């Protein structure tokens, strides 16, 4: 990365320090010294300091908040102030508003100081800089290592037998499983008896979950395609035309019933190609950006599998929302976790747990035991599962990796299944610790104490120890650096909280490069800083954008820079729209163009039935291309910019237009007749 990157990032840091000076004016000299120290170190170490070192210091700071004491770490920019003072020189003024010189957390700590420390340390945590190939290679090798650490799938997962009774031959419950009994003994934990009791209650809770979900019939739920890529091809492709439909899918999802809009279409396709067969297609590993230190690995599923997995997703999501499960799990909303995160930091009663590579550790054996009382559903889950993933990201790993895990990140089934399983583990842990029977009343009583969103889990602190031990028995691993149960700091689903106060920092993502996507991203970042009252940073970032980006009200839906004050529109071209009788401004907007490549066969009809377009829109069949975003000048009403029709502001605008002779006199006479006086 070039020196210009370092200079630009340093300018952003300088703006953040100016915001800190407004909040703590008595620390102005300290902040100047801190900024100079930071810039000097960046000249020697490069922007690695911004992207890696400072976030690492931030993680250590969070752990100190949770422990109630600052402990020296030896990380960059944490050298202690003096021999008897453990507080670091860098940001010393802010640290001393939180900790005593000896490191103990103050009783009268300043929460705003905590926010600014975290803002400075985490500012570049999510900066959009691609990681190098070595980090991608390491992540792939770790993926392989984690998968090999899991038990081999049972014989059930290699069969295509459709008799639900076979489920009972393989799965009798967690408490009767020799695998988990052996795990309890081999881990040598001090609470073996409690873990055995947990496994028994976990069996009962899993029965409650399966009962609440009810029977699964794919004809009831919607088949559709997800927005992601498929494994067969890269780039846009016709997802409604099947290349392969393996026997495993055919056994539960007959292609004639679920893959075509009519039997006639299916019969016609049989004359041209043979899509069925015993060959199991593999998913395709893809590395997508996550952070500068490592990528995120997902798997593009085969087209037919994705189609059926989305049907299962619709079933899980709909049924969960309509039952008691919806009190604990919201598949599309993180609000519940965030609210309990704030509550847990306030009174310390709740712990927030985050897992490491959770989706890569869901074993087939665990899924079989969890859904054993809903054998029909388990047969469909087996049919929709891919058995291997192909990768060409590194030659140091096999090109075809047989999967021991149930599914990868990328399958539509992964998120709901792991969420339901973690909910069951959490509920069973709490009931075990509190000595409560597994009844619907006792489960419902945990509402407000337990919440799950993927691998982000909130659980009562008194049950945390058993919960963590139970996760380990089930082959999961807790991410200690992002899990909190002591002190007043908690973190869950994007909310960082200390003593009930949201101290989540604003993240700088990327600079403006002139493109429309970059413009949208940078305007959003500006507004995020503005929402947190970091006005200097917001103002600096706004100065890097085109001058014709309008100021808009906080509730406006128009692309623009948010403001809580009067809109600064005097530099924009204005007009009075006679047809719509409103004042309008000419502003830069982003227009998305969605092009579609025509489909040459009758799969367009299946696409129509699947997408079910409104009769009020001009729908067009075809393969959707990547949307083209472009900048365009257009007229936007004052009401849209201000999120309300302010008649006084309209009057002032009209007077300005009249004074500048922008409109002809007869037009103003017409406006006066219409009541604009």
Residues 57-70 pLDDT 10s:
999 999 999 999 99
How far apart, in whole angstroms, are the C-alpha atoms of residue 503 and residue 112?
Answer: 8
Instruction: Give CA separation, 57 vs 15, 76, 100, 116, 649, in Å.
Output: 20, 8, 19, 14, 49
How far apart CA 214 and CA 315 sit, in angstroms, is: 10
Residue 442 CB contacts under 8 Å (≥ 6 apart), including other chains: 431, 436
Tokens of 301: 């599923």
pLDDT at 534 over 50: yes
Q: How high is the pLDDT of residue 664?
A: 45
CB atoms within 10 A of CB 435: 7
Could you tell me if 244 and 277 are in contact, meaning their C-beta atoms sit under 8 angstroms apart? yes
Strand 296-300 with 628-637, pairing: unpaired
Q: How confident is the model at residue 84 (pLDDT cuts 50, 70, 90)?
A: confident
User: What mean pLDDT is predicted for residues 33-48?
Assistant: 91
Q: For the segment 198-219, what is each residue's pLDDT rounded down to a tens digit? A: 999 999 999 999 999 999 999 9
**Residues 94-140: pLDDT tens digits?**
999 999 999 999 999 999 999 999 999 999 999 988 888 889 999 99
The answer to whether the CB of 340 falls within 8 A of the CB of 447 is no
- Does residue 432 surpass a pLDDT of 60? yes
CB-CB contact of 352 with 491 (8 Å): yes
Percent pLDDT > 90 in the chain is 62
Say if residue 625's pLDDT is above 90.
Answer: no
pLDDT per position as a tens digit, 129-160: 888 888 999 999 999 999 999 999 999 998 88
Residue 509 has pLDDT above 60, yes or no: yes
Q: Is 173 in contact with 203 (CB distance < 8 Å)?
A: yes
267, two tokens: 């019969």
Residue 390: the pLDDT is 95
CB-based burial label for 16 (10 Å; 0-12, 13-18, 19+): buried
Which two structure tokens, joined as six digits, stand for 208? 């409650």
Could you give the CA distance from residue 146 to residue 297 in angstroms, rounded to a whole number?
A: 13
> pLDDT higher for 165 or 311?
311
Q: Where does residue 516 rank: exposed (0-12), middle (13-18), buried (19+ CB within 10 A)?
A: middle
Q: How far apart are CA 139 and CA 80, in angstroms?
A: 35
How far is the first Cα of the chain from the last one, in angstroms, to the nearest whole number? 58
Average pLDDT of the segment spanning 428-452: 96
Mark out the alpha helices in 188-276 (DSSP H runs).
192-213, 247-250, 255-258, 263-272
Q: pLDDT at residue 648 above 60?
A: no
**Measuring CA to CA, how many Å separate 224 from each of 227, 240, 250, 676?**
10, 9, 17, 52
Torsion of CA 457, 461, 465, 471, to 10 degrees: -10
For residue 646 the two structure tokens come to 């302010």
Q: In which band, very low, low, confident or very high, does the pLDDT at 232 lie, cut at 50, 70 and 90?
A: confident
In terms of phi and psi (left: phi > 0; alpha: psi -120 to 50; beta: otherwise), the region of 520 is: alpha
The confidence score (pLDDT) of residue 290 equals 83
């Amino acid at each position: 990365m070039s020196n210009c990157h370092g200079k630009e990032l340093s300018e952003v840091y300088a703006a953040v320090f100016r915001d800190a000076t407004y909040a703590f004016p008595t620390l102005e000299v300290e902040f100047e010294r801190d900024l100079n120290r930071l810039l000097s170190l960046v000249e020697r170490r490069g922007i690695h300091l911004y992207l890696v070192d400072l976030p690492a210091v931030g993680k250590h700071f969070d752990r100190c908040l949770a422990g109630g004491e600052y402990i020296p770490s030896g990380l960059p920019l944490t050298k202690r102030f003096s021999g008897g003072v453990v507080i670091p020189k860098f940001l010393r003024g802010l640290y001393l508003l939180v900790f005593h010189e000896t490191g103990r957390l103050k009783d009268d700590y300043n929460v705003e100081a905590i926010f600014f420390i975290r803002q400075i340390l985490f500012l570049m945590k999510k900066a959009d800089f691609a990681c190098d190939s070595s980090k991608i290679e390491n992540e792939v090798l770790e993926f392989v290592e984690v998968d090999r650490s899991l038990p081999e799938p049972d014989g059930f997962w290699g069969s295509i037998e459709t008799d639900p009774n076979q489920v009972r031959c393989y799965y009798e419950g967690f408490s009767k499983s020799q695998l988990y009994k052996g795990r309890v003994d081999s881990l040598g934990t001090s609470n073996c008896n409690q873990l055995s009791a947990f496994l028994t209650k976990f069996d009962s809770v899993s029965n409650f979950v399966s009962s609440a979900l009810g029977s699964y019939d794919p004809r009831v739920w919607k088949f559709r395609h997800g927005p992601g890529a498929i494994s067969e091809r890269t780039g846009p492709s016709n997802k409604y035309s099947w290349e392969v439909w393996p026997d495993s899918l055919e056994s539960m999802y007959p292609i004639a019933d679920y893959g075509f809009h009519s039997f006639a279409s299916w019969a016609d396709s049989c004359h041209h190609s043979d899509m069925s067969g015993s060959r199991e297609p593999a998913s395709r590993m893809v590395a997508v950006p996550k952070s500068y230190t490592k990528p995120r690995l997902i798997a593009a599923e085969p087209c037919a599998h994705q189609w059926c997995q989305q049907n299962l997703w619709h079933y899980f999501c709909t049924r969960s929302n309509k039952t008691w499960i919806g009190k604990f799990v919201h598949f599309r909303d993180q609000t519940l976790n965030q609210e309990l995160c704030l509550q847990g930091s306030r009174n310390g009663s709740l712990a927030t747990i985050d897992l490491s590579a959770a989706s890569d550790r869901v074993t087939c054996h665990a899924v079989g035991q969890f859904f054993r009382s809903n054998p029909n559903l388990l047969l469909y889950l087996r049919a929709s599962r891919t058995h291997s993933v192909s990768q060409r990201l590194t030659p140091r790993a096999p090109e075809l990796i047989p999967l021991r895990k149930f599914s990868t990140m990328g399958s539509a089934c992964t998120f709901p299944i792991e969420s339901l399983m973690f909910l069951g583990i959490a509920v069973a842990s709490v009931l075990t610790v509190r000595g409560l029977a597994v009844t619907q009343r006792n489960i419902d009583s945990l509402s407000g104490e337990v919440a799950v969103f993927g691998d982000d889990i909130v659980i009562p602190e008194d049950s945390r120890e058993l919960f963590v031990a139970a996760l380990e028995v089930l082959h999961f691993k807790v991410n200690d650096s992002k899990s909190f149960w002591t002190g007043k700091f908690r973190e869950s689903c994007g909310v960082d909280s200390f003593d009930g106060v949201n101290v989540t920092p604003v993240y700088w993502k990327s600079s403006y490069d002139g493109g429309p996507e970059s413009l949208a991203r940078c305007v959003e970042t500006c507004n995020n800083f503005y929402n947190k009252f970091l006005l200097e940073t917001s103002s600096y970032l706004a100065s890097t954008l085109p001058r014709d980006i309008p100021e808009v009200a906080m509730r406006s839906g128009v692309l623009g820079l948010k403001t809580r004050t009067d809109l600064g529109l005097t530099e924009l071209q204005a007009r009075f729209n006679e047809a719509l009788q409103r004042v309008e401004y000419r502003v830069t907007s982003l227009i998305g163009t969605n092009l579609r490549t025509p489909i040459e066969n009758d799969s367009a009809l299946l696409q129509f039935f699947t997408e079910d377009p409104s009769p009020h829109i001009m729908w067009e069949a075809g393969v959707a291309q990547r949307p083209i975003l472009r900048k365009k000048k257009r007229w936007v009403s004052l009401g849209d910019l201000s999120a309300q029709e302010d008649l006084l502001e309209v009057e002032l605008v009209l007077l300005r237009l009249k004074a500048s002779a922008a409109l002809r006199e007869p037009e103003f006479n017409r406006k006066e007749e219409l009541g604009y006086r």
